[in-house]
Chains A and B, each alone.
Chain A
Amino acid sequence: MIKSKGAAAPFAVWMALFTVIPLGIVLWFAFTDGGGNFTLSNLSSIVDYAGTFGISIALGAVATVICLILAFPLAYTISRAQGRMQQTMVMIIMLPMWMNFLLRTYAWMSILENNGFINQLLRLIGLLPEGQSLTLINTNGAVILGMVYNFLPFMVLPLYSVMAKIDNSVIEAAQDLGSNILQVFRKVIIPLSVPGMLSGITMVFVPAVSTFVITKLLGGSKTLMIGDTIETMFIGQGADYHVGATLSLVLMVMILICMAVTGMVDQGEEDDLS
């Protein structure tokens, strides 16, 4: 038998090289100034970016909620479908992810533009007068749309894998005991799919908050999100590694808190069930 410790060694080395050491470097940058002396001034300068964190959290949260609303019925439908059908539907959900992320976002750009697909179509069928256009691109709505489109599969898949485990007999039992469809959902399906919801929320919210390409392409580069801000702190004019590292550190802590909260809720649910 392979000793478990030995088998984990390559992973431990990998972790040390590419996770622990870089984290240490981020920490080092966050708490030093240009001369390498210890300082807390980076941390206090984070106050200037409070608004940026706010708008990023807000957009990320809206996108996560929309994803959840869209994904829940979809995942349920897939989980109740028959074998072959189920596989096909999962594949259709995964299909867009085979294309490059940037390419997909560029595609949305040309759909939403002033002379893009939607505006041209509306003009063609006469809903918009010639020369006029709906402002779709470079709005917060466009950014949210980009996030929902790109991260939806990350919500559907965990929900689906949890729901697929719900036995049909449980649902039938509830119906036999006189529950209508709404009650079945509220009392049986939703409580049983909480773990899927939680991991889906984490998997959508975390990348949505820290995204930077989507905001740049669909948001018109007029308001920076936290991801854009960190990017400009490392490349581009006014690069400041120290503030950049501090911003990433704060973002990391936020994400850790987010995961801790979902973990606690998860634990709480298990307590409730037992």
Chain B
Amino acid sequence: MKRVLSITLVFLVLLCALIPSVSAEEIDTNVTLNVYNWGEYIDPTVNDLFTAETGIKVNYKNFTDNESMYAVLDSGAAIYDVIVPSDYMVGKMINEGKLAKLDFANIPNLSKINPSLLNPSYDPQNEYSVPYTWGTVGIFYNTKYVDEADLKLGWDLLWSEKYSGRIFMFDNPRDAFGIALLKCGFSLNTQSLAEWDTAYEVLREQKPVLHQYVMDQVYDKMINEEAWIAPYYAGDGIIMMDEEEGNPAIDFFVPQTGTNLFVDALCVPANSPHKREAEEYINFLCRTDIALLNAEYIGYSTPQEEARAELDPEIGQNENFYPPEDVLAKTEMFETLPNEITTHMDTLWMRLKLADPAWSVFTILVGVAAVVCFVLYIVRRVRRKR
């Protein structure tokens, strides 16, 4: 009996230690924040600076696209306190109740964020997200091999037979279909199934001229001149066009007909156990000196106005990264698509990547051959037994 009692006591003590202190407004410096961000998306010293100032440790993990980040959170495989989804994913997660409302009293640095990026369509009341970076999608090209004259093709450059086998394409459905929709002159958020089908046909036409579908490996491959033309996010130019580590022959342009404006935003998942500390972290990232460090390292446009003013004018005043009003006027943001459209897009994307249906004839042949072999074998065996 005594033993049972003592074991129960030990258990209770352990349990108490596990329950976090209830006073929510106090920052608990003993916690470890789990942060889930894109690859190469923070200055490597920032997390250490945060720990040095607040005592809160940071467990920092990377993801490669919104969809896999969503899948990880959705499966419950891991719990994160700060995540950085893109615009349309923020909207989707808000609709599904997967994000926590932020307490902006804890994030005073919000005042330094460019007001034109606040209250966006994906978070109209600006309750759940704080813009972290933004930018446009454009085309990177290698000036050694691509004629300046061909740039007037705009998005059609990505379909050009002339550069067959030297063109990359996004390896995710939303961005890839986005470019096809732009090429056709449709809205990025069109709800017409027929327009999505047209975009699918257009992507299908593009497949033969492509070198490969690619995401983050595009940096290395463009720098090594593996291929010459790649649509990607403007901010990655900093890495690709760098004089030493990149390839100075690479240049960038945004097609005149319009493009996609994207925002990656800091959010806190609804199931985060450390929301107060997460807000502290978000506020820290919005501080001018930290935002400046990140803007210089990541290369994507920063929404933090004071940090932009302190940037090297070659970047801070560069129209590729901070486009003028007339270009911005023609941009469109991704919005959360209704489920039926998303499902339709996913089906089309899958179909785009599946093998030629002619291969199913081969499958049937193999199946028939297997059955014939089996029957022959049985027949032979039966005969031999006699």
Q: Which of A43-70 contact B (CB under 8 A)?
A: 47-55, 57-58
Indicate if the CB atoms of A237 and B356 lie closer than 8 Å.
no
Inter-chain CA distance A114–B349, complex, in Å, is 27
How many residues from B make CB contacts under 8 Å with A? 49
Asked if B224 CB lies within 8 Å of chain A CBs, one says yes
User: If the complex has contacts A113-B226, A220-B213, A222-B210, are A58 and B362 also in contact, measured as CB distance less than 8 A?
Assistant: yes
Chain B 159-175: CB-based contact to A (< 8 A → 1; otherwise 0): 00000010000011110
Stretch at the interface among B7-15, B64-72, B102-110, B275-283: B64-72
Which of these, B207, B226, B347, B349, contacts A115 with CB under 8 Å? B226
Please state if B359 and A51 are interface contacts (CB–CB under 8 Å): yes
Count: A-B pairs, CB below 8 Å? 113
Contact, CB under 8 Å: A224 / B355: yes
> A54 contacts which of B342, B362, B370 (Cβ < 8 Å)?
B362
Confirm or deny: A229 has a beta carbon within 8 angstroms of a beta carbon on chain B. Answer: yes
CB < 8 Å neighbour of A237 from B210, B225, B346, B357: B346
Pick out which of these stretches binds chain A: B19-27, B192-200, B317-325, B373-381.
B373-381
Query: For the complex, is B353 an interface residue (Cβ under 8 Å from A)?
Result: yes
Interface presence of A86 (CB below 8 A): no
**Which of A51, A58, A113, A265 has the most B CB atoms < 10 Å from its CB?**
A51
The reply on B32 being an interface residue by CB < 8 A is no
Interface residues of A: mostly helix, strand, loop or mixed? helix
Query: When chains A and B are docked, how far (Å) is the Cα of A237 from the Cα of B86?
Result: 14
Cross-chain contact A57 with B346 (CB below 8 angstroms): no
Enumerate chain A residues within 8 angstroms of B210, measured Cβ to Cβ.
220, 222
Q: Does B354 contact A (CB under 8 A)?
A: yes
- CA A241 – CA B202 in complex, angstroms? 29
- Taking CB as reference atom, which chain B residue is nearest A58? B362
CA distance A42 to B349 in the complex (A): 19
Interface size bracket, A side: 35 or more
Does B347 lie within 8 Å of A221, measured CB to CB? no
Interface members, chain B 339-372 (any A CB < 8 Å): 342-343, 345-347, 349-351, 353-364, 366, 370
Q: Which residues of A contact B54 (CB under 8 A)?
A: none
Residues of A within 8 A of B213 (CB): 220-222
User: Is B226 within 8 A of A114, CB to CB?
Assistant: yes
A41 to chain B, nearest CB (A): 14
**A264–B357 Cα gap in the complex (Å)?**
32
Question: Is B212 an interface position by the 8 A CB rule?
Answer: yes
Complex Cα spacing A221 to B169, Å: 11
Min CB–CB distance A146 → chain B (angstroms): 15
- Report B-chain residues with C-beta under 8 Å of the C-beta of A52: 354-355, 359
Residue B49 lies at the interface, judged by CB distance under 8 Å to chain A: no
* Contacts A220-B212, A222-B353, A238-B343; A51 near B358 (Cβ below 8 A): yes
- Inter-chain contact A235/B71, CB cutoff 8 Å: yes
A223 to B380, CA, bound (A): 40
Chain B, Cβ-Cβ closest to A131: B145
Least CB separation from B210: chain A residue: A222
Complex CA gap A265/B378 in Å reads 11
Nearest-Cβ distance from residue A50 to partner chain B, whole angstroms? 3
A121 at the interface (CB under 8 A from B): no
**Residue pair A51, B363 in contact (C-beta under 8 Å):** yes
Query: Which residues from A are CB-within-8-Å of B353?
Result: 221-224, 228
Given A58-B359, A236-B65, A50–B212 Cβ distance below 8 Å? no
Docked CA distance A142–B212 (Å): 13
Is A150 close to B, CB under 8 A?
A: no
Contact B211 A238 (CB under 8 A): no
B324 to chain A, nearest CB (A): 33
A239 interface contact, C-beta 8 A: yes
Residue among B349, B356, B366, B380 making CB contact with A51, cutoff 8 Å: B356
Contact partners of B173 in chain A: CB under 8 A: 237-238
B227 within 8 A of A: yes
Q: How far is the CA of A54 from the CA of B354 in the complex (A)?
A: 11
| Contact of A221 with B362 in the complex, beta carbons under 8 Å | no
Could you tell me if A221 and B171 are in contact, using CB atoms closer than 8 angstroms?
yes
A272 shortest CB reach to chain B, Å: 9
Q: How far is the CA of A222 from the CA of B208 in the complex (A)?
A: 10
In contact, B71 and A115 (Cβ under 8 angstroms): no
Closest to A260 in B: B374
> What is the CA–CA distance of A34 and B135 in the complex, to the nearest angstrom?
37
Is A224's CB under 8 angstroms from B71's CB? no
Closest to B347 in A: A238
A138 within 8 A of B: yes
Q: Is there contact, CB below 8 Å, between B224 and A113? A: yes
Taken together as a complex, chains A and B put the C-alpha atoms of A64 and B355 apart, in Å, by: 21
**Known contacts A51-B355, A236-B68: does B225 contact A115 (CB below 8 Å)?**
yes
**Bound complex: CA of A257 vs CA of B370, how far in Å?**
9
List CB contacts (< 8 Å) of A13-62 with chain B: 47-55, 57-58
Q: Are A222 and B363 in contact (CB under 8 A)?
A: no
- Chain A positions within 8 Å of B67 at CB level: 235-239
Given A222-B207, A268-B377, answer yes or no on A57-B366 (Cβ-Cβ < 8 Å). yes
Q: Are B171's CB and A57's CB within 8 A?
A: no
* Nearest chain A residue, comparing its CB with the CB of B71: A235
- Give min CB distance, B68 to chain A, whole Å: 5
Distance from A133 Cβ to chain B, minimum over Cβ atoms (Å): 9
Q: For A261, give its contact among B212, B374, B380 (CB under 8 Å).
A: B374
Q: Which residues of B contact A221 (CB under 8 A)?
A: 171, 212-214, 353
Interface contact B361-A54, CB-CB below 8 Å: yes
Chain B, Cβ-Cβ closest to A47: B360
Bound CA span A221–B225, Å: 19
Please name 15 pairs of A and B residues whose Cβ atoms are closer than 8 Å in the assembled complex, sorted by A.
Answer: A54-B355, A54-B362, A55-B362, A115-B224, A115-B225, A138-B211, A220-B210, A221-B212, A221-B353, A222-B207, A223-B353, A224-B350, A238-B67, A238-B342, A261-B374
6 smallest beta-carbon distances between A and B, as pairs? A238-B346, A220-B212, A50-B360, A54-B359, A51-B359, A54-B363
